[in-house]
Amino acid sequence: MTIAPFFQLKFPVFRSSPSKLSSLTEKKEKNMARRKLLLLLKPFDVYHVTQSKPVSHFTNPRVFHYLDNRRKVHKEAINFCQQILQKKAVDWKPILRNNLSQPIHNVDLVVTVGGDGTLLQASHFMDDSIPVLGVNSDPTQAEEVLDSFLEGQTVPSKLSRMSISVNSKSLSTYALNDILIAHPCPATVSRFSLRIERDDQTCLSLVNCRSSGLRVSTAAGSTAAMLSAGGFAMPMLSRDLQYMVREPISPGAAISSLMHGLIKSDQSMNVTWFSKEGLIYVDGSHVFYTIQNGDSIEISSKAPVLQVVFPHLSS
């Protein structure tokens, strides 16, 4: 099955034949101002597998079947979205997420096809002016949600993001889910101190930590790794951040309660790194920044929000 038309570089214009449109559809199309959409795709062949002979006895055939099925499901989702856009009075162009390297501008909506990872990658190239609609491998609601947005019936939700600076220099990436600050070697102890401030006034006194790292999440990311590590789910539209010191070494009763808590929207966390080397992972393992002994890291929710189109959530 070919999807070559899906990857042309210019905005293709698709118009439905008037003879095939019901009167209701004609009215809806007339009411929709022509919009520009960017379709961000996870490559459909990312799960492509071939089984050569002889096959190693360590290879489980069910793994091949699972990966190939994932590939087919993703191709079907891409084709489904293509069919939807062909019926709409919109201009759109596709781009593979691997080819995204510049900030996204001059579009009215970004549609991501490929799950949470694709939406997270898109968010790293977006400011707070463009909404994003995520479509996973079950895109049955996509057309309904898209129509609702184009007709102005759905208001995008504003999700909080995280701002990170190292030695007073802001990182170029805002975190939508979470960050992890840790030594590059997972078997090595991470040494750092942390404190929480509001307008240069201390809200949480200095805490010295030896652990396997520090995780900080947004509300959107609180149901991911943070929840798995023993944190709690936060209201989706909260502007607060949640932090957790990972596997602290003998924190003692006096400070054990300080290993996990909230950074309020008007507060910031300041971390001083004392290990020889370290990494700041942003929204997973693909985006990271190096740090070294003595570096100062500031973390807060004072970042541009991300507008996300949800079926049943708005702000």
Mean pLDDT of 169-178: 97
| CA-to-CA separations, 250 to 25, 211, 212, 253, 255, in angstroms, rounded | 66, 9, 12, 9, 10
Lowest mean pLDDT among 9-18, 50-59, 227-236: 9-18
Using CA atoms, how far apart are residues 6 and 92, in angstroms rounded to an integer? 10
Write the pLDDT tens digit of every residue in 180-226: 999 999 999 999 999 999 998 888 889 999 999 999 999 999 999 99
* Mean of pLDDT values over 275-293: 97
Q: Backbone phi, then psi, for 4, in 5-degree steps?
A: -55, -45
What tokens were used for 269?
A: 């966390």
Q: Are 11 and 39 in contact (CB under 8 A)?
A: no
Task: State residue 311's pLDDT score.
Answer: 72
Residue 24, pLDDT above cutoff 60? no
Q: Is the pLDDT of residue 137 over 90?
A: no
* % of the chain surpassing 90 pLDDT: 58
Query: Of these residues, 68, 91, 108, 116, which one is catalytic?
Result: 116
How far apart are the C-alpha atoms of 144 and 135, rounded to whole Å? 12
Give the C-alpha separation, 128 to 157, whole Å: 11
Task: Name the pLDDT band for 126 (thresholds 50, 70, 90).
Answer: very high
- Per the model's pLDDT, the better-predicted residue between 5 and 299 turns out to be 299
315 has a pLDDT exceeding 80:
no
Lowest average pLDDT, out of 88-102, 127-141, 197-211, 258-272, goes to 127-141
- pLDDT computed for residue 208 by the predictor: 95
pLDDT grade for 287, boundaries at 50, 70 and 90: very high
What average pLDDT does this structure show over 260-271?
98
- Residues 240 and 263 sit within 8 Å (Cβ to Cβ): yes
Domains of the chain, first to last: 4-155 (3.40.50), 163-300 (2.60.200.30)
Q: What pLDDT score was predicted for residue 33? A: 58
Average pLDDT over residues 32-56: 67
Q: Please, what is the Cα angle at 250 between 248 and 252, to 5 degrees?
A: 110
pLDDT at residue 103 tops 80:
yes
Tokens representing 99? Answer: 């080819």
Mean of all residue pLDDT scores within the chain: 85
- Known catalytic membership, residue 295: no
pLDDT exceeds cutoff 90 at 272 = yes
Mean pLDDT value of segment 171-186: 97
> So what's the pLDDT on residue 291?
99
Those residues with Cβ within 8 angstroms of residue 254's Cβ, 6 or more apart along the chain or in another chain: none
Task: Assess whether pLDDT exceeds 70 at residue 306.
Answer: yes
**pLDDT over threshold 60, residue 46:** no
Q: What is the mean pLDDT of residues 260-278?
A: 98
As a residue count, the chain comes to 315
For 6-10, 62-66, 171-175, which range has the lowest pLDDT when averaged over its residues?
Answer: 6-10
Whether 308 contacts 128, CB under 8 Å: no
